[in-house]
Amino acid sequence: MPGKIWFVGAGPGDPDLITVKGRKLLEGAGAVLFAGSLVDQAATQYAPAGCEIRDSKDMTLEEMSAWLISRSQQHASVVRLQTGDPGLYGALIEMTRPLTAAGIEWSVVPGVSSAMASAAAAGETLTLPEVTQTVILTRVEGRTPMPAGEDLAALAAHKTTLCIFLSITLLHKVQEELRRAGWADDAPILVVQKASWPGEEKIVRGTLADIKSKCQALKVASQAMIIASPTLGAADWPDLARSKLYDPTFTHRFRKATENPHES
């Protein structure tokens, strides 16, 4: 019987942000195929001595599938180590279809997305009561076309949090699309390059009007997350709507409301 192939999310870059399950699978792997152009090679430090480790950055999809299939004939456990979470912009289904056709068992281990890591690096939240409760994960149209109805202007019209992947080289287009959706030039924008990468992370705060020039000045031109959100900068706001879950006047199944919280 062939071995099992695990698609493991390595997280945003810091090898300590891989999940415990992901690390255990690396420690027991006979072979690891990792996305070297995106995943810090330090993430492979958990692989055991003698493990076959291959960087996939120069491989086509067909070559990666063939490599995974051949190694599953040799090892009980094979790991495909992907950046962030395998389900986000990771060609997951394209890689698993040949495995299923070949009768090879596979599973997915989720990972920390760069969207969450970027917000954490900047000390920001993606949702706030009575501000926005919706997060849209998307990208700007480049060589890969966007499906009908998913252009950035259409999504930005909701005025919710936007986490924009794979678009830092098209930042001018991001500016155009947000303006077309009615975002003001003074709307706050956050860009985080290599979120969580030890010694390489860059955090750029600006507005819709000046974020491109700020990124150019700091030479941020790759591997960066763009976040546009009405929640940005909330830590410095004079007032915030309270979360109902922690409000003393709100009853839930673990706590009864206090009628006069200031008297308790």
Which pLDDT does position 264 carry in this prediction?
A: 47
% of the chain surpassing 70 pLDDT:
93
Kindly indicate the confidence band of residue 243, based on its pLDDT and cuts at 50, 70 and 90: confident
Give Rg (Cα) of the chain.
22
Contact 43, 15 (CB under 8 A): yes
The CATH code of the domain at 4-109 is: 3.40.1010.10
pLDDT of residue 241: 84
pLDDT at res. 40: 77
Instruction: Tell me how far apart the alpha carbons of residues 123 and 148 are, in angstroms, rounded to a whole number.
Output: 34
Considering only residues 184 and 264, tell me which one the structure prediction assigns the higher pLDDT: 184
Question: Secondary structure of the chain in the HEC alphabet?
Answer: CCCEEEEEECECCCHHHCCHHHHHHHHCCCEEEECCCCCCHHHHHHCCCCCEEEECCCCCHHHHHHHHHHHHCCCCEEEEEECECCCCCCCHHHHHHHHHHCCCCEEEECCCCHHHHHHHHHCCCCCECCCECCEEEEECCCCCCCCCCCCHHHHHCCCCEEEEECCHHHHHHHHHHHHHCCCCCCCEEEEEECCCCCCCCEEEEEECCCHHHHHHHCCCCCCEEEEECCCCCHHHCCCCCCCHHHCCCCCECCECCCCCHHHC
Q: Average the pLDDT over each of 41-50, 74-83, 237-246 and give the range with the smallest value.
A: 237-246
**Hey, which CATH number is domain 114-234, 2.40.170.20, 3.50.50.60, 3.40.50.300, 3.30.950.10?**
3.30.950.10
The domain spans of the chain are 4-109, 114-234
What would the mean pLDDT of 197-209 be, rounded to a whole number?
A: 96
Give me the mean pLDDT over the 196-201 stretch: 94
Res. 105: pLDDT tops 70: yes
Mean pLDDT, the chain, rounded, equals: 93
Task: Tell me the per-residue pLDDT of 120-170, one tens digit each, with 9 for 90 and over.
Answer: 999 999 999 999 999 999 999 888 889 999 999 999 999 999 999 999 999
Residue 63 has pLDDT above 80, yes or no: yes
Taking 80 as the threshold, does the pLDDT of residue 33 lie above it? yes
Share above pLDDT 90 across residues of the chain, in percent, rounded to a whole number: 82
Rounded CA separation 12/30 (Å): 24
135-139 vs 4-9, strand pairing mode: unpaired
Q: Which of 33, 78, 38 is CA-nearest to residue 56?
A: 33
pLDDT bracket for residue 39 (50, 70, 90): confident
On the question of pLDDT at 177 being above 60, the answer is yes
Tokens of 121: 């690096």
Q: How confident is the model at residue 245 (pLDDT cuts 50, 70, 90)?
A: low
Same fold for the domain at 4-109 and the one at 114-234?
no
